[in-house]
Chain A
Amino acid sequence: MKPFEYVAARTIDEAVEALASSKGPAKPLAGGTDLVVQLNEGRITLDRVVDIGRIPELKRVDVDAQGQLRLGAAAPCVDVYSHLNVQRLFPMLVDSASIIGSVQVQSRASIGGNLCNASPSGDSIPTLICLGAQAVIQGPSGRRVVPVEEFCTGPGQTVLQPAELVVEIVVPAPGENEGGKYLRFIPRNEMDIAVVGVGSWIRWEPQSGRITDARIALGAVAPTPVRAPEAEAALIGKEVSWDVIDEASRLAVNAARPISDVRGSAEYRRHLVSVLVRRTLLAALERAGVDVKDLGGEAYAG
């Protein structure tokens, strides 16, 4: 491995400055669970590594009085899923943070790093999209905010410009009668990369029984995580029923552009999309307070 310089930034400004002033390629280092492997295996060569894991603002997990979550980009998964207010208000984020690797990986891996690594199978990204999260970015020319949905542009590619850093991820406070669920399919129980991952989020109106809003995001079936707009449209305005869920799960497949690889064929992935959309919708509805046992159809199995 080519030697690189290590800079431990103490503040966000120092980190941006260290990235901007590097003569050759430089990258931020959060938990290192992607970056250290990439460096060790020679998949990436850097002149400078800027450690952002010592910047207190980047490590915080804050839920304010209104219920908005401000997640420091370098906070490790364990700090996310152990946080009582995150568990209470954002169980969907717990779904994702608690399945990224092993407990050893979760001690260090951050949600910010999972997003910036921009793997099509990153388990946090569909969830952040469903929850309407925004990435707060700081760089040499100041701050800007990008919806997570627009953040990834290809496998390993993002909207980040040189020397830009994600500083925090902001998740809006949940409203009444909302719920979300993330599930992935892997051939083992733990420690594997998603063959397909699906997040579903729903809001409904108990008086009318109608779905008033829906978001479905699919992972590992396209170069980036993608929304499933036809499926969402098929839900909005409808009364909650098994048929509506079933219809949405079939339409969601139209948003998938999967490839065949060692983890599964394209056809298998399309099948998994419909199964996981059904399961996540049922679980999301349950979290939103719908009595899903009354719906009939296939019981929730996830």
Chain B
Amino acid sequence: MLGKVVVRAVLNGQECEFLADPRQTLLEVLREELHLTGTKEGCGNGNCGACTVIVNGRPVNSCLMLAVQAQDAVIETVEGLARGSKLHPLQQVFLEEAALQCGICTPGFLMAAKALLDVNPDPTEAEVRHYLAGNLCRCTGYDKIVRAVLKAAQVLREESEKAAEVSA
């Protein structure tokens, strides 16, 4: 059976359904069918990380995944980071620390950094640099990005401590 396949997934917390040609990557479907253009294409072959999204809790290159492989997956993209008009701490700190210039790499860095902090809330600088090695940036020289991730980690830890106090 050639032709399109119905794919059901959870995208940024919402159930969704889309039709995918088996040739389409998840990146193409996100951008061109679902109009979520926050996820960027740099290289299209897994080397730059601009297309990073989180699938079932893990960072992946959406350019290397066929959209049909996303059947039943839980997908997070940069559009799902902010809560309403409140930016996610990673986004807020990236702005404050000037961790971006042209910005094309930023959604990929944000999602890779979120995947890291989801499993390791208190990473060392070396751990951040290692984890982000699959994300390329032509503008910033990386230092500001690494500092922003470390600072966002701290903000997130403080937020969760406060939340724990309130519920205690």
Contacts and interface: CB of A to CB of B under 8 A. Distances in A.
A189 B131 CA distance: 12
Contacts of B69: 29, 32, 51, 53
A6 B5 contact: yes
By secondary structure, the B interface counts as mixed
B66 A36 contact: yes
Given A190-B130, A191-B134, A3 B64 contact: no
Interface in A1-59: 1, 3-6, 8, 29, 31-33, 36-37, 39-41, 49, 51, 53-54
A46 to B, nearest CB: 10
Given A29-B66, A104-B134, A105-B61, A3 B49 contact: no
Contacts of B160: none
Contact of B134 (A3, A36, A103): A103
A40 B46 contact: no
A107 interface: yes
B140 interface: no
A36 B25 CA distance: 8
Interface stretch (B51-59, B79-87, B93-101, B146-154): B51-59
A42 to B, nearest CB: 11
A102 B49 contact: yes
Given A1-B23, A4-B23, A104 B66 contact: no
Interface residues of B, number: 33
A103 B25 contact: no
B7 to A, nearest CB: 10
B61 A104 contact: yes
Contacts of B47: 191
Contacts of A6: 5, 22, 66, 68
Contact of A107 (B2, B23, B58): B58
A108 B64 contact: yes
Nearest to A2: B23
A104 B64 CA distance: 10
Interface string A113-153: 00000000000000000000000000000000000000000
B19 interface: no
Q: Which of A6, A33, A190 counts the most chain B CB atoms within 10 A?
A: A6
A208 to B, nearest CB: 41
Nearest to A3: B2
A101 interface: yes
Nearest to A39: B23
Nearest to A51: B69
A93 interface: no
Nearest to A190: B133
A102 B132 CA distance: 8
Contacts of B130: 190
A5 B112 CA distance: 31
Contacts of A3: 2, 21-23
B37 interface: no
B82 to A, nearest CB: 22
A282 interface: no
A83 to B, nearest CB: 15
Given A31-B64, A191-B47, 9 more contacts: A1-B23, A5-B22, A29-B69, A33-B64, A49-B66, A51-B69, A104-B61, A105-B64, A107-B55
CB-based closest 7 A-B pairs: A102-B134, A6-B22, A190-B133, A107-B58, A104-B61, A104-B134, A104-B59
26 contacts: A1-B23, A3-B2, A3-B21, A6-B66, A29-B69, A32-B64, A33-B46, A36-B66, A37-B46, A40-B44, A41-B45, A51-B68, A51-B69, A101-B46, A102-B46, A102-B61, A102-B133, A102-B135, A104-B46, A104-B61, A105-B61, A105-B64, A105-B134, A108-B64, A190-B130, A191-B47
